[in-house]
Homo-oligomer: A and B are copies of this chain.
């Protein structure tokens, strides 16, 4: 059975690591926050004093961090500290599950390749609920060999597992998807409100569009108009779900990628601006379907 190091035990990383433990794996964890570490050791994890200490003897190293700079620093080290790449076994598989800029993923991947170590980016979607339930979606970027080898841990933590291409492709595929999702959400919101403003019942209009050429994931699973669907954030005052602040983060990553590759994304960048406005009006911690309120009349 593989030994796993898990570094970064936040809202997502914590339950992901817990699922590996439940599956019987030997998991050594590290986080700067001792409370987060304690929560895992109570469930049977080993702990280490440093990230490098946790990773040194592992077959698989999994990291879950906030941003590209943390990932670069952890894997590459700096003047004062060694990086993971300096201490792990050549046979180890490194999997970064953070959602970060593709350039950082590619940089770490290139440095790992120089040392003959397999690295894969594997950003997730599915939120804290999916992390706890072990039903996350992983979008992977790395070699075929790495992708195959990773199945042993990813299938424990997730449901859908995709192979998007080489290192960095996981990040790109995720931000392409989430940029498109933001466009679906805004476009669906304004279309439903246009119907409402012209006297249509939003349930009837949703039912028509859902099976017509306007059909999309938000109409199917996540209708933004209150009281059209049950058990979605729009029917619970936009609580829960995927926060506006996280959508703003992902749209920022997609815009950075678009600038770097000289790509045109009129809809995606407009969605980003609307979401930033929405966040600045105090909605950052509400579900991202609350963008519907930008279009609906104030009561």
Question: Quick one: CB contact mask for A154-172 with B, threshold 8 Å, 1 for yes?
Answer: 0000001011111011001
Please name the residue on chain B nearest to A186 by beta carbon: B267
Q: Does A252 contact B (CB under 8 A)?
A: yes
Q: Are B263 and A193 touching (Cβ within 8 A)?
A: yes
Q: Does A21 contact B (CB under 8 A)?
A: no
**Could you tell me which residues of chain A, from 250 to 273, have a CB within 8 Å of some CB in chain B?**
252, 254-259, 261-273
How distant is A112 from chain B, measured CB to nearest CB, in Å? 18
Q: Does A205 contact B (CB under 8 A)?
A: yes
* Among all A-B residue pairs, the 6 with the closest Cβ atoms: A183-B187, A216-B216, A269-B269, A180-B214, A264-B276, A266-B273
What are 24 contact pairs spanning A and B, CB under 8 A? A166-B199, A169-B200, A172-B198, A172-B200, A173-B195, A176-B191, A177-B209, A178-B214, A180-B209, A181-B213, A183-B186, A193-B263, A193-B264, A194-B263, A194-B265, A198-B261, A212-B217, A213-B217, A213-B221, A216-B217, A255-B269, A265-B273, A277-B295, A282-B298
Q: Are B217 and A215 touching (Cβ within 8 A)?
A: yes
Q: Are A297 and B269 touching (Cβ within 8 A)?
A: no
Copies in the complex: 4
Give every chain B residue within 8 A of A259 (Cβ-Cβ). Answer: 252, 255-256
Q: Does A237 contact B (CB under 8 A)?
A: no
Checking B137, B192, B204, B264 against A212 with a beta-carbon cut-off of 8 angstroms, the contacting residue is B137
Q: Does A139 contact B (CB under 8 A)?
A: yes
How distant is A275 from chain B, measured CB to nearest CB, in Å? 8
How distant is A228 from chain B, measured CB to nearest CB, in Å? 14
**Could you tell me which residues of chain A, from 270 to 299, have a CB within 8 Å of some CB in chain B?**
270-274, 276-277, 279-282, 294-298
